[in-house]
Amino acid sequence: MSDGVVIIGTGQGGFQLAASLRQEGYQSPITMIGDEDCLPYQRPPLSKAYLRDGRVEAVQLRPASFFERSRIDLIAPERAVGIDRIARTVQTSTGRMLPYEHLVLATGARNFVPLIPGLEAPNVYSLKTTVDADRLRDALATFRKVIVIGGGFIGLEFAAVAVSSGHQVTVIEAAPRLMARVVSEAMSQTFREFHEKLGNELLLGASVVEVTVGHDGLASGVRLSDGRSVEGDMILLAAGVRPNTELAEEAGLQVANGVVVDNTLLTADPSISALGDCAAFPCPTSGGIIRLESVQAATDHARTIARRIIGKSVVYEAVPWFWSDQGSLKLQIAGLGQAADEDISVVGPDGRQLVFRFKMGKFLSLETINAAGEHMAARKLLRQPDGVSLDILAARNFDIVELAKALKEPA
């Protein structure tokens, strides 16, 4: 019998690959290796619903019976510590040697920890796992002066939950605007105004250079690059992530801000694939090598790899999309707008905001707030083989839903 597929990583991408393989009729062994002592679960709710209620069963992707019924061998908690590409084996921290016919790296990413003195204080928190979220929830059981380092998705999602629970929150972002890496200036401004109305204090354009620590060893605040100081009795570090590529590097695979793969998610080694946050892959629209920190990208990657493993000819060409729930606002992004040279913000009669992003007149991305229909329409239009122009959208008064109906997706 075949040695089957070994998946390093039990996040949503790794889980989706195992599930998709069985759905596609794959019969050989499937082994998942994960370093958390729990069943695979969803991470996005950790900064929102799970932070409030702590219901593990609500974030689990499947119960234990699913893995038994599907013949998926889940090895956890255990770490993969080495890959022998010649022998096609994975070594684990307990000394197991697991043979594979195909290996998939779904190692994800870890929180970035900048070189800031004082971050080792016990009341400085991170948010990546259920254990992290449980610690945060316990800390928020009494009133806190919370400092959030980082104005990206996770920091702002947490800030919205914390301030709505009665805590005093200060968000510190080194960039001049919120979520600057992923959204337009117009959308950054909308969320700035929203968070300020919630009661969050936002300090932009200044970085944290030191966490001040009291005689008791606990963090008591931070000092900023512009000389200001902020007091607080609890700090969340949400300064972004870095891909987990060490295993791939040690195995001699190419790494460049992620494990480099082709448009089928295959590395230069025909027996090894990579997916999700750890994978650097060709963008379906621009052709450049990108890495996406997105649950949807990870699950789309997984489905692509599963189909390839069972012998179907398939490439990854899904339109990237993202979302962030912050208080009453659901931000959704279709496409990649970072290269945009023109943004057009449209506010409908119902108050819903859309930001269209273009490069040289070509539609790249749509950012929406509480506008699921427009978001879905944008994803359809972004799949048009010849693209969609600013002129076409303007001629329809930026009614993207009607335009998507008019331009039927090719078969």
Residue 1: the pLDDT is: 64
> What average pLDDT score do residues 160-182 get?
96
Most confident of 30-34, 46-50, 403-407: 30-34
**In this model, does residue 385 exceed pLDDT 90?**
no
User: CATH 3.50.50.60 in the chain, residues?
Assistant: 5-110+242-309, 124-239
Work out the percent of the chain whose per-residue pLDDT is above 90.
90
Distance from first CA to last CA of the chain, Å, rounded? 39
Give the residue carrying structure tokens 């255990």: 78
Overall fold of domain 5-110+242-309: FAD/NAD(P)-binding domain (3.50.50)
Confidence of residue 411 (pLDDT cuts 50, 70, 90): very low
Q: Using the 8-state DSSP alphabet, how is residue 255 labeled?
A: B
328-406: which CATH topology? Answer: Enolase-like; domain 1 (3.30.390)
CB 281 within 8 A of CB 263: yes
Distances (CA, A) of 72 to 65, 96, 107: 10, 17, 18
Q: Start-end ranges of CATH 3.30.390.30 in the chain?
A: 328-406
pLDDT digits (tens, 9 = 90+) for 273-293: 999 999 999 988 777 899 999
Percent helix / strand / coil, the chain, rounded to 5:
25, 30, 45
Q: Tell the residue number behind the tokens 């790494």, with chain if given.
A: 255
Cis? peptide before 63, omega within 30° of 0: no
Q: How far is CA 112 from CA 47, 239, 248, in A?
A: 17, 6, 19
CA distance 225 to 208: 6
Query: What pLDDT does 113 receive?
Result: 95
> What is residue 41's DSSP assignment?
B
Measuring CA to CA, which residue among 28, 324, 81, 67 is closest to residue 188? 324
Is pLDDT of 192 > 90? yes
What CATH number belongs to 124-239? 3.50.50.60
Long-range contacts of 188-192, Cβ-Cβ distance < 8 Å, separation of 24 or more: 190/353, 190/369, 191/156, 191/326, 191/329, 191/331
Strands 168-173 and 201-204: parallel
- pLDDT of 85: 98
Question: What pLDDT is attached to residue 279?
Answer: 98
- Cα separation, 395 vs 222, in Å, equals 51
378 has a pLDDT exceeding 70: yes
Q: What is the pLDDT of residues 300-315, one digit of tens each?
A: 999 999 999 999 988 9
| pTM, two decimal places | 0.93
Query: How many C-beta atoms lie closer than 10 Å to residue 326's C-beta?
Result: 23
- Beta-bridged to residue 237, according to DSSP, are 149
Burial class (CB in 10 A: 0-12, 13-18, 19+), 394: exposed
The predicted pLDDT at position 28 comes to 97
Q: How far is CA 69 from CA 55, 62, 90, 208, in A?
A: 24, 11, 25, 50
